[in-house]
C-alpha cells in the first residue's frame, strides 16, 4: 500500500478580479477581466521531504503557498494535509500542523513586541503551555533550536541582523510544533553568506524534527541544495515536476532547460549559453495554446492552438508537446 503523502494539492486554481468598476464597464461594454494567478496546479509532498516551486516573478508560486496555508481561498481544487481536506476548513485546528516562513523577516515580525512575545503567540493561540514557566521554557527551547540565546527573548526585532531576524521567524514557526512548513523565499532578502547559514539551519531542523517543507524560490542554486522534488511554474501552471536530481541532470521542458542556463557554472566558462529571451506574457491576456510558445525554441504549430497537459516524461512529468512527440530529445 502506497504511503499517504503529507500534503496533496489537486487541481488548485485562483483568479483575481481586475475589472473596471461596474458603471465604466457598462458604458464601454467591456467584459470582466480576471488574472488567473494559479490554474490547475497539482502535486504531492511525502513526509520528511522538501518540494520546491520555482519560476520567474509573477508565475504564481507565492499564491500557491498562500492557498496551501489558507491565507487565500481557492476558486477550485483541494488541499489535503495527512489525508484530511483542509481546503475550506473553518476550524483552525489544522493550523498548528502547518506554519509559514515569510520572505521579509522584518516585515513579518511586530516591531513593538519583544522577541519572547513574538514566539509566544502560537504557543498561546494553540494552548500548548500549561503555565507561564512552561511557556518561558518553550520560548527558550525555540530560540536555542535556531542558534539564538534564551536571553534574546527580552530584545526587540530591530536589535537583530537580517539573518538573526529570520532565525526568529523560524523559531516562531517551530513554537507551534508543526509538521509542515511553507517557506516563501525565506533567504532572498539576505546576504549570500547569511543565506547559506539559514539554509543549513533549515536542513538540520528538518533532519532533527522530521519536518516537511514546501520551498518557494526563484534561485535554482538554492533549490538544488534544498529540494527532493521540484515543480517548475510558468504563468500559473506547472510546466515540469520531477525529482531534483533528475531535473537538474536531465531537464525535459524547454523552459526548465533555459532556466538552468542561468545558474552560474565555472565549467561553462567560455562556452556559449542560450539566453532566456522575451518577457513573460501578461497573465491578464495569456497566449493561446501553450503559454510558453512565444519564447520557446521548440515551438511548432500544435503549441499555438492546444494547451499541453502534464504527462510522464522520464522520472517526472512535463507539460510540453515537443517532449510528448519526442522533438525535444531529437534536438538535444
Q: Which domains does the chain have, with CATH numbers?
A: 7-90+179-330 (3.40.50.300)
Report whether 54 contacts 232 (CB < 8 A). yes
Output the CA torsion sign for 287, 290, 294, 295. Answer: positive
**DSSP type of residue 113:** S
Please give the grid coordinates belonging to residue 47. 513526509
> Which cell goes with 238?
506547472
Residue 315 phi/psi, 5-degree rounding, is -90, 0
Nearest C-alpha neighbor of 36 from the set 292, 255, 285, 293: 285
What does the alpha-carbon distance between residue 156 and residue 220 come to, in Å, rounded to a whole number? 33
> What is residue 190's DSSP assignment?
S
For cell 541532470, the residue is 249
Give 10-residue mean pLDDT values along the chain (332 residues): 82 92 86 90 95 91 93 94 87 81 87 94 90 94 95 94 93 93 88 88 94 92 92 95 94 91 59 62 87 90 94 93 78 54
Q: What is the pLDDT of residue 275?
A: 59
Please tell me the predicted confidence (pLDDT) of residue 269: 45
Cell of 102: 515569510
Q: How far is CA 25 from CA 16, 31, 141, 301, 326, in A?
A: 17, 7, 57, 35, 46
Cα-to-chain-centroid distance, residue 258: 20
- Model pLDDT, residue 181: 95
Residue 227 near residue 58, CB atoms below 8 Å: no
Q: Which three cell numbers stand for residue 230?
A: 521540484
Residue with cell 538573526: 164
Cβ neighbors of 221 (< 8 A, separation 6 or more) are: 263, 264
Amino acid at each position: 500500500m502506497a504511503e499517504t503523502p503529507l500534503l496533496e494539492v489537486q487541481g488548485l486554481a485562483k483568479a483575481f478580479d481586475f475589472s473596471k468598476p461596474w458603471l465604466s464597464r457598462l458604458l464601454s461594454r467591456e467584459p470582466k477581466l480576471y488574472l488567473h494567478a494559479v490554474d490547475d496546479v497539482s502535486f504531492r509532498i511525502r513526509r520528511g521531504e522538501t518540494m520546491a516551486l520555482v519560476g520567474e516573478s509573477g508565475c504564481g508560486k507565492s499564491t500557491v503557498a498562500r492557498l496551501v496555508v489558507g491565507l487565500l481561498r481557492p476558486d477550485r481544487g483541494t488541499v489535503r494535509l495527512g489525508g484530511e481536506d483542509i481546503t475550506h476548513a473553518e476550524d483552525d485546528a489544522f493550523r498548528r500542523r502547518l506554519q509559514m516562513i515569510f520572505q521579509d523577516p522584518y516585515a513579518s515580525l511586530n516591531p513593538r513586541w519583544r522577541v519572547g512575545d513574538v514566539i509566544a503567540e502560537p504557543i498561546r493561540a494553540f494552548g500548548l503551555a500549561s503555565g507561564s514557566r512552561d511557556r518561558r521554557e518553550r520560548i527558550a527551547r525555540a530560540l536555542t533550536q535556531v542558534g539564538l540565546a534564551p536571553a534574546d527573548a527580552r530584545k526587540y526585532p530591530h536589535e537583530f541582523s537580517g539573518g538573526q531576524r529570520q532565525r526568529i521567524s523560524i523559531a516562531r514557526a517551530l513554537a507551534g510544533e508543526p509538521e509542515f512548513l511553507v517557506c516563501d523565499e525565506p533567504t532572498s532578502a539576505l546576504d549570500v553568506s547569511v543565506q547559506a547559514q539559514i539554509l543549513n539551519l533549515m536542513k538540520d531542523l528538518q533532519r532533527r524534527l522530521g519536518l516537511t517543507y514546501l520551498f518557494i524560490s526563484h534561485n535554482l542554486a538554492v533549490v538544488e541544495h534544498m529540494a527532493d522534488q521540484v515543480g517548475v511554474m510558468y504563468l500559473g501552471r506547472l510546466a515540469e515536476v520531477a525529482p531534483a536530481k533528475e531535473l537538474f541532470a536531465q531537464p525535459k521542458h524547454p523552459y526548465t532547460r533555459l532556466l538552468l542556463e542561468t545558474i552560474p557554472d565555472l565549467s561553462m566558462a567560455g562556452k556559449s549559453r542560450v539566453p532566456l529571451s522575451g518577457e513573460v506574457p501578461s497573465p491578464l491576456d495569456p497566449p493561446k495554446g501553450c503559454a510558453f510558445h512565444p519564447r520557446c525554441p521548440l515551438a511548432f504549430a500544435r503549441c499555438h492552438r492546444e494547451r499541453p497537459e502534464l504527462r510522464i516524461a522520464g522520472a517526472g512529468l512535463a507539460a510540453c508537446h515537443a517532449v510528448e512527440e519526442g522533438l525535444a530529445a531529437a534536438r538535444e
